[in-house]
Amino acid sequence: MNLLIVLALVGLMHAARTFDAGGAHATTLAFGFVLLAAFFAGRIFASLRLPKLTGYIATGIAVGPAVLGLLSPELIHDLEIVDGVAIAMIALTAGNELDLRAFRPLLRSIQWITLWAVIGTALLLGAAVFAMQGLLPFFDRLSLLPALAVALVMGVVMSAQSPAVVVALRDEMEADGPMSRTVLGVVVIADLVVILLFAATSSLAQSVIGAPGDFSDTLSLLTWEILGSLTSGVLVGAIIAAYLRFVGRNGALFVVTVCFVAAEVGSRLHFDPLLVALAAGVLIRNATRQGDVLQAQIELASLPVYVVFFAVAGAHIDLRLLASVALPATAIVAVRGIGLVLGSRIGAHLAGSPEVVKRWAGFGLLPQAGLALALAALFVKTFPEFGAEARALVLGVVALNELVAPAIYRWALVRSGEAGRREAAEAVAELVEEAQPAA
């Protein structure tokens, strides 16, 4: 039945596009079509024991310019308005999950895994890119030292993880436990680490290439982005918490509106909506009593936003571009996967983590999406002479990870035994909280 519904939606969309290819309501039509088609495709994938998330992305690929062409590049651009809202809501959820008191026992694991898996993989990827110079024509114009520095920057960009995918899969699988909590902590901290590493390595590359003035502007922009985003995030968190406490009505609509404003206004001020919302969520969870209320309101409003967001991400995947960089991109995806899984096991072993964390946490670091794409765009601005060519490789790596990594992490959640445990964990937490006053 789900398949028949998807086919019917595709047929209706094709007919509508034939009769009114560029009408005034094209964007509204596209939004409704993508939402419904991706939602039912996600149910098909779930029946096949694959992540719904992969179904959303696959739908975007199928209806985008690369395959059926039901969504033109112009329509895809119009639908990107959902991106900022979705990223902000996902980051708000991730931040709201970071109960610092609850995560304190996992802090040692998070630190060691971040060091070995995230930073170690960035260095490993840099070495892999440098070793594959012969397959990457833009390196032909660089001498030895500049090539090494640029490869290191690219390694940092491609080491980025995706809190968006991790949160979405954890919610879909209703997972809870030391492994899934550790993964969430690592991917959130890794975003900050990768941004700082990008600033440092791009500094080195710019100075080696001979344009330190350009790096100065880049460093100033990144500093403003990080500090400004975190500061404004504290303000946004205070506003949301105050509304949920003193007003409460239509909380889901208010949260979506705040996320939209934070994303749109923040982008014009060169703030990162992910960092803004992350700081807001951390503040609400740890400095107020509105964390559970916020989570409930996000769950009410998030599904349509997430469905369209991941479908649009799939529509951006250019299969021809992916084919042109298939060999180096596949090799880098393999190196990245080995580095993250092996580095995670080393870090977890050194931290004395539970066995479930040692065995499975590395698979949660594989998904990749927004931050890598954002840094790739900044890479183009920082290195305009060859940035566009390097960006093609990054897009190929991200595309492959978007298609494969969610299914791998879903498998890890199931094999670790943490899938479906959230309800039980919440029940235990409530019992403990009720018992504390009596104690």
Q: Which of residues 45, 62, 79 is at a domain's end?
A: 79
Q: Tell me the C-alpha to C-alpha distance, in Å, between residue 235 and each of 117, 160, 195, 277.
A: 33, 27, 22, 10
Query: Is 298 found in the same domain as 155?
Result: yes
Task: Decide: pTM greater than 0.85.
Answer: no
Alpha carbons 150 and 360: distance in angstroms, whole number: 32
Other CB atoms closer than 10 Å to residue 140's CB: what's the count?
A: 10
Query: Is 322 found in the same domain as 246?
Result: yes
Q: How much is the pLDDT for 210?
A: 64
When pLDDT is averaged across residues 270-286 and rounded to a whole number, the result is 84
Q: Which of residues 64, 79, 94 is at a domain's end?
A: 79
CATH number at residue 267: 1.20.1530.20
- pLDDT (tens digit, 9 = 90+) per residue, 401-435? 877 888 899 899 999 999 888 765 555 555 445 55
Query: Is 368 found in the same domain as 257?
Result: yes
Q: How much is the pLDDT for 345?
A: 94
Say whether pLDDT at 62 is over 70: yes
Q: How much is the pLDDT for 438?
A: 46
Split at pLDDT 50, 70, 90, the class of 23 is low
Query: Is 385 found in the same domain as 243?
Result: yes
Query: Is 41 found in the same domain as 9?
Result: yes
Q: What percentage of the chain has pLDDT greater than the value 90? A: 19
Query: Is 88 found in the same domain as 73?
Result: no
Split at pLDDT 50, 70, 90, the class of 439 is very low
Q: Judge whether 436 lies within some domain.
A: no
CB 95 within 8 A of CB 277: yes
Between residues 210 and 104, which one has the greater pLDDT? Answer: 104
Amino acid at 244: L
Q: How much is the pLDDT for 103?
A: 74
Q: Which of residues 79, 104, 132 is at a domain's end?
A: 79
When pLDDT is averaged across residues 50-73 and rounded to a whole number, the result is 83
Query: Is 234 found in the same domain as 90?
Result: yes
Tell me how many domains the chain contains. Answer: 2
Query: Is 338 found in the same domain as 225?
Result: yes
Torsion angle of C-alpha atoms 428, 433, 438, 439, degrees rounded to 10: 80
Q: What is the mean pLDDT of the chain?
A: 81
**DSSP H/E element including 5:** helix 2-19
Q: How much is the pLDDT for 235?
A: 94
Other CB atoms closer than 10 Å to residue 326's CB: what's the count?
A: 12
What range does the domain containing 23 cover? 2-79
**Helix ranges restricted to H, 352-439:** 355-360, 370-382, 387-416, 422-438
CB 367 within 8 A of CB 406: yes
Q: Judge whether 399 lies within some domain.
A: yes
Q: How much is the pLDDT for 432?
A: 47
Query: Is 241 found in the same domain as 104?
Result: yes
Q: How much is the pLDDT for 430?
A: 53
Query: Is 197 found in the same domain as 285?
Result: yes
Query: Which value, in Å, is the radius of gyration of the alpha carbons in the chain?
Result: 22
